[in-house]
Chains A and B, each alone.
Chain A
Amino acid sequence: MIRQFGWGEFLFLLEGARWTIVLSLLAFTFGGILGLAIALGRTSKWKSLRILTATYIQIFQGTPLLVQLFFVYFGLPLLGFKVDVWVALTIGLSLHTSAFLGEIWRGSIQAVPDGQGEAARALGIGYMHRMVDVVLPQAFRIGLPATISFLVNLIKGTALAALLGLTELTRSGQLMANITFQPLQVYGAVAVIYFFICLPLTYCSSRIERRLNAAR
């Protein structure tokens, strides 16, 4: 007897959606920390550091996320690390995130008027406090809409975890489609769940963007 796609099956998909969100948050947190370092390196006064971080960004923006994930998942074991799929995906997605957020935040740091940093320097404020207290808070505001829309891209990107076998939302959909033989309904439901996770963020991002533009 073939199972029908009903309420219980939908709950199974929601169960998977939980891991999609957990994975996105993990990657966003670690990627955000590393991304801040990348952004600071990208705007540093040392040329070698700027070139290094620019290359890092180029590599991650110029290759598919899928290949990056495969590389981490199949490559790390060769270096002697035993990684399970969660660790590999968190590392892969975090590195990917750090490159994109690094580039977004580089732009927002550079969009803060030079006078702000110069005034801080004239007051004798050191690099650390100049960044943390003067430049970054202003850059944060400017970069917020792009950061949120990247978060949407990241959530969509975690769907690739299905291809490495982690049972998040898309993989749950694959399993459920195989059990029920109703791929149209199942993938439709999966798409709807993604839609309702991402839509509030997209809405938020465009609202903030409009408000920032109105202020200018």
Chain B
Amino acid sequence: MNYSFDFSPVFAAWPMLLDGILGTLRMSSLSMVFGLALGLVFMLMRMSKLPMLRSIAIGYIELIRNTPILVQVFFVFFGMPALGIRLSGEQAAILAMTLNCAAYAAEIVRGGVQSIRPGQIEAGRALGMHSVDIYRFIVFRPAIRAVYPALCSQFILMMLNSSLMSSVSAEELTYFAQTLDSQTFRSFEIYFTLGVIYLAMSQFFSIALGLIGRVYFSYPAK
């Protein structure tokens, strides 16, 4: 082995990497917010009394969960223009990740909602609470609290998955790393640094989101 490691071109390009980090965070957090909202819709459909709504939701969830996110984003980015919908790389990335996240979020939150015992809801009704309030305070908040760790790992997973969006030229971290690679040919150093940055981000979010959860869900219950 006679290769001399040289990290200087990687460090010299720090503004580019910072741009990439911001892109990654922007895309994954937007997709998480939209995905959670859409996921709640699918969860309600999945638990509805109407068999039609239920089968649509099940079909959607299973379709998304059993196909690779790379194929989903290719479908959105390359396939949708055929339907007359032309999206930029970043828009396609956010749309694909949102659709992907919605399926997982629906299943995660459903697990939480099903963990609420019926007695709780009946108690709320006995106290004369409005059904919206029952849903908000007795079902939804404790359900989210129960599945909060799973939602956090879903977010981290999505942040890691956003690296695939480089393949549709969405400007996130891996995209800039590949650009840098083609300019400097320092592949080893670049992908090593890239790995370290992703590792740091996932560790940071795992700790930070854990702390936020501790504070936000600190009310006594259970």
Q: Which chain A residues have a beta carbon within 8 Å of chain B's beta carbons?
A: 58-59, 61-68, 70-71, 74-75, 78-80, 152, 156-157, 159-160, 162-163, 170, 173-174, 177, 182-184, 186-188, 190-191, 194-195, 198-199, 202
Q: Which residues of A sit under 8 angstroms from B202, Cβ to Cβ?
A: 61-63
Q: How large is the interface on B (under 10, 10 to 19, 20 to 34, 35 or more residues)?
A: 35 or more
B79 touches A199 (CB 8 A): no
Question: Which of A80, A157, A162, A184 contacts B83, CB < 8 Å?
Answer: A184
Q: Which residues of A sit under 8 angstroms from B68, Cβ to Cβ?
A: 156-157, 159, 170, 194
Tell me if B195 counts as interface (CB < 8 A to partner A): yes
A71 to nearest B CB, angstroms?
4
Question: Which of B3, B62, B161 contacts A78, CB < 8 Å?
Answer: B3
A64 touches B198 (CB 8 A): yes
CA distance A80 to B2 in the complex (A): 8
Interface class of chain A by DSSP = helix
A–B Cβ pairs within 8 angstroms, 23 of them: A58-B203, A63-B195, A64-B161, A65-B160, A66-B163, A67-B195, A68-B195, A74-B188, A79-B1, A152-B66, A156-B66, A157-B68, A159-B70, A163-B164, A170-B68, A182-B82, A184-B80, A187-B71, A188-B79, A191-B63, A194-B67, A195-B63, A202-B66
Q: Which residues of B sit under 8 angstroms from A173, Cβ to Cβ?
A: 71, 74
Q: Which residues of A sit under 8 angstroms from B192, Cβ to Cβ?
A: 71, 75
A187 touches B1 (CB 8 A): no
CA distance A194 to B83 in the complex (A): 23
A156 to nearest B CB, angstroms?
4
| Residue of A58, A66, A68, A184 with highest tally of chain B CB at under 10 A | A66
B191 touches A64 (CB 8 A): no
| Residue of A70, A71, A173 with highest tally of chain B CB at under 10 A | A70
Residue pairs across A and B with CB atoms within 8 Å: the count is 122
A80 touches B1 (CB 8 A): yes
B187 to nearest A CB, angstroms?
4
CA distance A162 to B68 in the complex (A): 12
Whether A78 touches B163, Cβ cut-off 8 Å, given contacts A188-B75, A198-B67, is no
Tell me if B199 counts as interface (CB < 8 A to partner A): yes
A64 touches B71 (CB 8 A): no
Question: Which of A61, A68, A170, A184 contacts B82, CB < 8 Å?
Answer: A184
Interface class of chain B by DSSP = helix
Question: Which of A74, A162, A198, A199 contacts B70, CB < 8 Å?
Answer: A162
A133 to nearest B CB, angstroms?
34
CA distance A66 to B62 in the complex (A): 24
B66 touches A75 (CB 8 A): no
Tell me if B69 counts as interface (CB < 8 A to partner A): yes
Whether A191 touches B72, Cβ cut-off 8 Å, given contacts A63-B160, A163-B167, is yes
Question: Which 10 residue pairs spanning A and B have beta carbons closest together?
Answer: A74-B187, A159-B68, A198-B66, A183-B78, A64-B163, A184-B79, A156-B68, A62-B202, A187-B75, A64-B160
